């Protein structure tokens, strides 16, 4: 398995291209914007993207999803259906935050497949388990590759921080519970790619993330 991270939008949101080294099949995770930049990177890598995966329904993670779905003729998979209202109302999200985006970035996103806790998604010969981890948003999911000890985290957990919970559907207690009960029991040596910022491991965050250590204590 290989991956490439492409920060997009003024929010420096980490869009990930993940592919199987054997089949060269790939997925595009959280295409938040700058579709031309993403298409160019896919062309450079020479991989075949056959799915768009979404961790959650915030506009900075889904802004180019519908455009790229149409361009590549591929399905949008995820998040959990609890985020449907967010995906239906991207323009409302922007108004709440007083952000002006191009019209095509606020078009309602319609997933082809909703994901549930325990589902799996295949990327070539790689398999990702789905963990429903609400708190940052009600339908947030995490993609977990058991064999590779690798996660695509979205905005649940960051290096030395956690996802914000002051947006509609956010809940700090629910978020902390997701981290403590869904993520940390899986092991300290799991590398994760967050939705913003640099990668980290679950073990590092369990010991050093003050938002978590204070909550645990």
Concatenated DSSP letters for 112-127? SB---TT-EEEETTEE
Question: What local confidence, expressed as pLDDT, does residue 101 receive?
Answer: 59
Q: State the Cα–Cα distance between residues 108 and 105, nearest whole angstrom.
A: 9
Instruction: Give tens-digit pLDDT for 73-118.
Output: 999 999 999 999 999 988 777 777 767 655 555 679 999 999 999 9
Which of these ranges, 23-27, 59-63, 212-216, has the smallest mean pLDDT?
A: 212-216
Question: What local confidence, expressed as pLDDT, does residue 27 receive?
Answer: 99
Q: State the Cα–Cα distance between residues 80 and 116, nearest whole angstrom.
A: 6
Domain boundaries, the chain: 2-216
Q: State the Cα–Cα distance between residues 22 and 26, nearest whole angstrom.
A: 11
Percentage of the chain modeled with pLDDT above 90: 85
pLDDT band at residue 165 under the 50/70/90 scheme:
very high
Which class is 2-216 in CATH?
A: alpha beta
Question: What local confidence, expressed as pLDDT, does residue 98 receive?
Answer: 67
pTM (two decimals): 0.94
């Amino acid at each position: 398995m290989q991956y490439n991270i492409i920060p997009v939008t003024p929010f420096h949101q980490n869009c990930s291209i993940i592919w199987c080294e054997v089949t060269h099949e790939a997925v595009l995770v959280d295409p938040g914007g700058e579709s031309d930049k993403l298409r160019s990177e896919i062309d450079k890598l020479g991989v075949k993207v056959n799915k768009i995966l979404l961790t959650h329904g915030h506009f900075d993670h889904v802004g180019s999803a519908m455009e790229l779905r149409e361009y590549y003729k591929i399905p949008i998979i995820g998040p959990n259906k609890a985020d449907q209202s967010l995906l239906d109302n991207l323009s409302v999200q922007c108004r709440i935050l007083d952000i002006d985006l191009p019209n095509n970035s606020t078009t309602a996103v319609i997933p082809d497949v909703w994901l549930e806790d325990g589902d799996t998604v295949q990327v070539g010969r790689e398999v990702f388990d789905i963990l429903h981890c609400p708190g940052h948003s009600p339908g947030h999911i995490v993609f977990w590759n058991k064999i590779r000890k690798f996660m695509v985290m979205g905005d649940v957990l960051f290096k030395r921080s956690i996802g914000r919970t002051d947006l509609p559907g956010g809940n700090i207690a629910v978020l902390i519970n997701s981290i403590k009960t869904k993520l940390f029991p899986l092991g300290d040596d799991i590398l994760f790619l967050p939705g913003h910022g640099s990668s980290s491991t679950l073990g590092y965050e369990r010991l050093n993330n003050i938002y978590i250590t204070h909550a645990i204590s």
